Amino acid sequence: MAIIKPFRALRPPKHLVEKVSALPYDVMNVEEACAMAAGNPNSFLHISRPEIDLPAEIDPHDDSVYLQGKLNLGEFIRRGILTQDSHDCFYVYRQRLGGISQTGLVVCASVDDYQSGVIKKHEHTRADKEEDRVKHIDCLDANDEPVFYLSRSCAEVEGIIEGVTDSPPEYDFTSDDGVGHTAWIITEQILIDRLIDLFAEIPRLYVADGHHRSAAAARVRELRRDKNPNHKGYEEYNSFLTVIFPENQLNIMPYNRAVKDLNECTVSEFIAEVRNIFEIIPSPVPVIPAERHVFGMYLDCCWYHLHARPEIVNEKDTVGRLDVSILQNSLLDPLLGIQDPRTDQRIHFVGGIRGTDELVRLVDSGEYAVAFALHPTSICELIELADQDQIMPPKSTWFEPKLRSGLFVHLLS
């Protein structure tokens, strides 16, 4: 049973939405965020990445950064850059990128569902990143960026959403990265009530992207509950901002890897070691794996197909048969010494949207010695694994397009 709740979104007026909207906070570094917000005082990055308004030497986890975000949010509200709807609503959010189109329902999800396991996870969180989001959300007094969830498809839910999208949208624009964004508002109480009832019949939701924000929302609820002697359980801090997409519309891209060195091996020695585990075939063109258990390797200005030998693949192991696991357990750990990819500074993760050109650039720059292109994890693999309460290796999935920030904010007070 999944609990969803309508809310009064804090959001930009139509004529400002393009200026306000921004990429999510965690797909850029500080320098990139500064460049994106340059000359645009209405960019949501002033709220989601408030360190851009402070001296460069400030630690991004300093308390002054979180306070700056709170001040910037208050200023956006004061100037009318963000205004709050007068009634509780659901919202529909559609994204388009090339041939990809995905339409989700913007709601508040339940912290109770997250803690009880109705909302299923597939990754561990990092303590430092989780703590950062706790401080950011708590100081801001808002969920400023939505979590990306998926659900099993429901024909009636999709039918209601399709009916809503037949009406004129509230927002409709294309961002600088070529992604189209369209949003509608659901104000009719009969539709809101029916959607609540339909989701109550859906046994599980799945975190697609946003494990740290989900965990942080739960911790913020605990902090506020402990400080509130009159806690009732229905305060706004008991829920958090989410966009839920049906499984049949989502697109997963690979999460590729690059490693700084060959762990004291020469190129020829490393290739000889890899050949003991994989069938290696040189390729005159970049390798974009088209099937499971096939990898692309870029090394010393050359591309190679790597085919996993059957003896290293156990199809009965839900986690071990994932391509990210095969690469980690059979090559990255034993040959390159990457024992913990969550903390090892020698490995770099490259979202599939950047393509093989980025892998070539990293290695040719001399900063990295070798890079690997993977076949993407599937939605079916994610759901099966999450249903078994299993955990994927870090950086197993890259969802694209990313949810745009600044379109909807959920206030906690």
Q: Answer yes or no: do 45 and 174 share one domain.
A: yes
For 138-166, how does the pLDDT look when each residue is reduced to its tens digit (9 = 90+)?
999 999 999 999 999 999 999 999 999 99
In-domain check, residue 382: no
* Model confidence band, residue 114 (pLDDT cutoffs 50, 70, 90): very high
327 and 193 in a common domain: no
| pLDDT tens per residue across span 234-248 | 999 999 999 999 999
Q: Are residues 195 and 54 in the same domain?
A: yes
Task: Clarify whether residues 407 and 356 are in a common domain.
Answer: no
Tokens of 206: 């799945």
DSSP string, 291-314: STTEEEEEETTEEEEEEE-GGG--
Domain count of the chain?
2
Distance, C-alpha 276 to centroid of its chain: 35
% residues pLDDT > 90 (the chain): 92
Residue 254 tokens read as 């690979």
Are 84 and 62 in contact by the 8 Å Cβ rule? The answer is no
Provide the H-helix boundaries in 24-101: 30-37, 45-48, 63-78
Q: Are 376 and 254 in contact (CB under 8 A)?
A: yes
Considering the domain architecture, whether residues 263 and 247 belong to the same structural domain is answered as no
- Using CA atoms, how far apart are residues 319 and 196, in angstroms rounded to an integer? 33
Q: Is 45 domain-assigned?
A: yes
The kind and range of the H/E element at 280 are strand 278-283
Q: What pTM value is reported for the model? A: 0.91
For residues 149 and 16, membership in a common domain is answered with yes
Which amino acid is present at 124? H
Whether residue 365 is found in the same domain as residue 404: no
Are 181 and 294 within one domain? no
Query: Exposed/middle/buried for 190, CB within 10 Å: 0-12, 13-18, 19+?
Result: exposed
3-state DSSP assignment of residue 155: helix
Domain ranges, residue 324: 255-375
For residue 395, tell me if it sits in a domain: no
pLDDT category at 251 given cuts 50, 70, 90 is confident
The count of other CB atoms within 10 Å of the CB of residue 375 is 18
Q: Is the pLDDT of residue 180 over 90?
A: yes
Tens of pLDDT, residue by residue over 304-331, are 999 999 999 999 999 999 999 999 999 9
Q: Does 387 map to a domain?
A: no
Q: Do both 239 and 303 map to the same domain?
A: no
Whether residue 243 contacts residue 146, with contact meaning beta carbons closer than 8 Å, is answered with yes
Would you say residue 389 lies in a domain? no
185 shares a domain with 78: yes
What span, in angstroms and rounded, lies between the C-alpha atoms of 407 and 83?
Answer: 11
Q: Does 342 have pLDDT greater than 90?
A: no
- CATH code at 343? 3.30.1760
Instruction: Report pLDDT digits (tens) over 31-86.
Output: 999 999 999 999 999 999 999 999 999 999 999 999 999 999 999 999 999 999 99
Burial class (CB in 10 A: 0-12, 13-18, 19+), 249: middle
pLDDT of residue 354: 87
> Is the domain of 265 the same as that of 235?
no
- Tell me which residue has tokens 């706790």: 134
Q: Is a pLDDT exceeding 90 seen at residue 97?
A: yes
